[in-house]
Amino acid sequence: MSAAIRTELLAQTNNKTLHEPPIQTLLRIEQLLIYLEGKGRRPNTVLAYKKNLYALAIRADLNNPTSVELAIARYKCIDSKTRKLTDRAASNNYKSKLCDCYATYCKLYGLTWEKPIYQPQPTSIQPPSKEQIEMLISAAKGALSLKIQISMETGLRPIEVQGEIGLKAKDVHPEQSTITAISVKGCNPRPPIKISPELLTRLTTYIRTHGKQPIDTLFTGRARGYGESFRRARNRLAQKLNDPTIKTIRLYDLRHYYVTKQLMRIQNAEIVRQIIGHKNLNTTQKYMHLLAGTSGEWIVEGTTDKERAKQLLTADFTYQLTTPDGTMLFKKPK
């Protein structure tokens, strides 16, 4: 067991209702992590298993499924600052993740356990406004500002921007003004994603000034580092503007913003699913309710010139119809 993990356990077990797990249990957890790594599970997945199994190990005997099942049902969260146990119950979503991790533990060590079912609680998706994201881009410094703009314009997951499977210099295509990325979560390969001239200029300048070779990752550091630096910059901006709503913006909300924008523009959930890399269409369709109430919020333009029509399509306008006098009508969300 690493010193850092042992220190964290000791801090948590200051609570009388928690206990330091026996060494044998800790060794079993470490062995399971090695097993997962050998099976090709991604580092972030292995880390999640580590955290969840340790969280259970300080609450119950992992070799006693009945004890673990009760611990999950009664699970109370720990305050991240004081490391004290709170009265706040874990969500069903988190309990379901704990069950998945423990089910793997049981399978590996031959324990019989009927996994309980915790129905996921519906989550509310409320993307930030374009103005809020642009304020974050302006307030952030250096590479962080660039990463936020990439997330806004491409909808890439944070781990697809920075980390082991993050963007490489070769994934930026100046001739086509596009970015491609490695898909995660078992998704099919995604098509190149169009980016603005401004972002393309920033990216090519960054690649040139940092001497990035095609196989080099654009942004060094752990995948988690992006989220940590984003939260610090976001909190500073919220404090500076005295606007608590900015503090509620999560890094993943930039992806939500992109998905919603594409649904408004394309009006076809299946095409959007392919662009953003959702494995299931149902995931994409969860965003459809956000389009309610947006009717009328469109920029409409008509032209009889074919070259102008091409320009409008490039500018994210969508063709609607051609009038009897030959005028082609286009629209895009404001």
User: CA 216 to CA 200: how far, in whole Å?
Assistant: 18
Note whether 274 and 214 are same-domain residues.
yes
DSSP state of 163: S
pLDDT at site 292? 54
Domain assignment present for residue 192? The answer is yes
The token duo for 233 is 């910059």
Residue 203 lies in a domain: yes
Does residue 245 form part of some domain?
A: yes
pLDDT in tens, the chain (334 residues): 455 555 455 455 455 568 889 999 999 999 999 999 999 888 878 989 999 999 999 999 999 999 999 999 999 888 766 767 788 889 898 999 999 999 999 999 999 999 999 887 666 667 888 999 999 999 998 999 999 999 999 999 898 999 888 899 999 999 999 998 876 655 667 789 999 999 999 999 999 999 999 999 999 988 889 999 999 999 999 999 999 999 999 999 999 999 888 888 887 778 888 888 887 777 777 776 666 545 445 676 788 888 888 888 877 777 777 776 778 877 776 6
My answer on whether 173 and 309 are in the same domain is: no
In terms of residue numbers, what domain contains 102? 3-109
User: How many domains, the chain?
Assistant: 3
pLDDT at 185: 59
- Integer angstrom CA distances of residue 218 from 60, 213, 232: 43, 9, 21
Nearest CA among 62, 122, 70, 124 for reference residue 91? 122
pLDDT of residue 124: 62
Neighbours of 82 (CB within 10 A): 10
